[in-house]
Amino acid sequence: MLLVLSFAGTAANVWLLSGLVPWFLLPDFSFLAIVYSGLFLPGPLGFLAVLPPALFREVTVTGPPGTFFLASMAVYFSASEIGRRIFIRAEIFWFLIVAGLLAAESASVLLLLILTGGNPFSYLRGAEEAVRIAWTSLLAVFLFMDLSGRWQRIQE
Amino acid sequence: MVKFLRTWWRLLLLVALLATGIQFFVRPPGFSLTPFLGEIGASLFRPVYGSIDFLRRGISSVWSGYFDLVHVKKENAELRKEVAALQEKLTESRDAVLENRRLEELLRFSRARETRTVGARVVGHDVSPWFQGIFIDGGAAAGIDMGMAVVTPAGAVGRVHRTYQDLSEVILLTDSRFAADVIVERTRARAIAEGMGGNLCRLKYVSPTEDVVRGDRILFSGFDGSMPKGTLLGTVVSVDRPREGLFLNIRVVSAVDALSVEEVLVVLSRPAIPFQRGMP
């Protein structure tokens, strides 16, 4: 399910909707799949599940080679650690975890771009990025509710 | 010690991954860790972008065909008149036609000699918030290599950043990592153009004594060997003269809107200065 989500979501965003829908309204499905793998799937299964979405991000983000694969793995281990240390009681936790990880990743890349001599920051860009983070995090909550509902039905 | 490692190995691995990621970001290694994996990823997405491109072209041709039919009768009558007028002009200007042929041959020669190009279709965009890039459906199989310039008849688009077998990533000239040597067309003043997001670039290192005004066209100088000489970058939209500071603040709007461009040409000449893998 996570593999399908990351492949179909990334393909739809990059090859189908890009140029039609503004970038900040396109949720990062691969990122969501990575976070869910870290939170839900323990052990080697989670590690295997995170490889395809990390690869999809590496291929579809035009950053320096290798960096987004490594960053995705770092997000996976962060989510895994959060899943072990925090008892997630309500939907707001999902929202905050995804929003926090997305914001941390975004701020890190922005800082690195500035340190390497670029100047990509503008207030409009910042506002758009805030919309993207909020929108992806909100979708993460609904997606979690849907997935957990499906899982319960399978168990019953 | 073992207990500590067992408890915190994820965090330690996380720190190691981040440190390696930062190192790759700031100073990409001479080798790529993921060429094989990247090729697999690109192959997995190949049917998606191929079929979506096919659908887009189909819909576009049906739509334009319909409009052509609606206007065909009126256009036919106008074209007949135009053809008659052109035939008269053609007989009057035989000398000009011959000269034109000679010039055309020269042009063909220079094209074959200096700027061999290959056409490619834009199949996707980078939707990440940090980088501005597009994906084109030509890759290493078509002779496209890292660092090659990507242009349209309207102006420059960017530079090839990474290639796969039949897919390439192109960094747009509005990306913050893009920089190239440029000149002002009217006054020949030199500067360094740098992407600044949106549809804008900034010109760096232009002295306040230089004559640059709003509306000036900016061309690539070709001195750094990265972009073809004389290719249009864009038009100056604002020039601020700071009270303090050594240089002018100049903003340039790109001549090509990367979001609406559908086909591009890749200049198949390798840049004079070799590009380090991963650096735009």
ipTM for the assembly: 0.81
Task: Using an 8 Å CB-CB cutoff, list chain A residues near B197.
Answer: 120, 122, 125
* pLDDT at position B213: 92
Closest residue on chain B to A60 (Cα): B126
Residue whose pair of structure tokens reads 């078509």 in the numeric block: B142
Contact B129 A56 (CB under 8 A): no
User: SS3 of B230, please?
Assistant: coil
Looking at residues B3-15, what average pLDDT do you find?
79
Contact A70 B17 (CB under 8 A): yes
The sign of the dihedral angle between the CA atoms of A112, A138, A72, A7 is negative
CA distance A41 to A50: 10
For chains A and B, CB pairs below 8 A equal: 161
CA-closest candidate to residue B231, choices B162, B147, B150: B150
Q: How confident is the model at residue B159 (pLDDT cuts 50, 70, 90)?
A: very high
Q: What is the pLDDT of residues A53-90, one digit of tens each?
A: 888 888 888 888 888 888 999 999 998 888 888 777 77
CA distance A109 to B175: 14
**In whole angstroms, what separates CA B88 from the centre of its chain?**
42
Q: What is the pLDDT of residues B160-190, one digit of tens each?
A: 988 888 899 999 999 888 989 999 999 999 9
B141, B165 contact by CB (below 8 A): yes
CA distance A129 to B172: 20
Contact B14 A132 (CB under 8 A): no
Task: Using an 8 Å CB-CB cutoff, list chain A residues near B123.
Answer: 15
B257, B274 contact by CB (below 8 A): no
CA-closest candidate to residue B149, choices B231, B235, B75, B226: B226
Please name the residues between 74 and 133 in chain A that touch chain B, using a CB distance below 8 Å: 74, 77-78, 80-81, 84, 106, 108-110, 112-113, 115-116, 118-120, 122, 124-125, 128-129, 132
* pLDDT at position B113: 45
Residues in chain B: 280
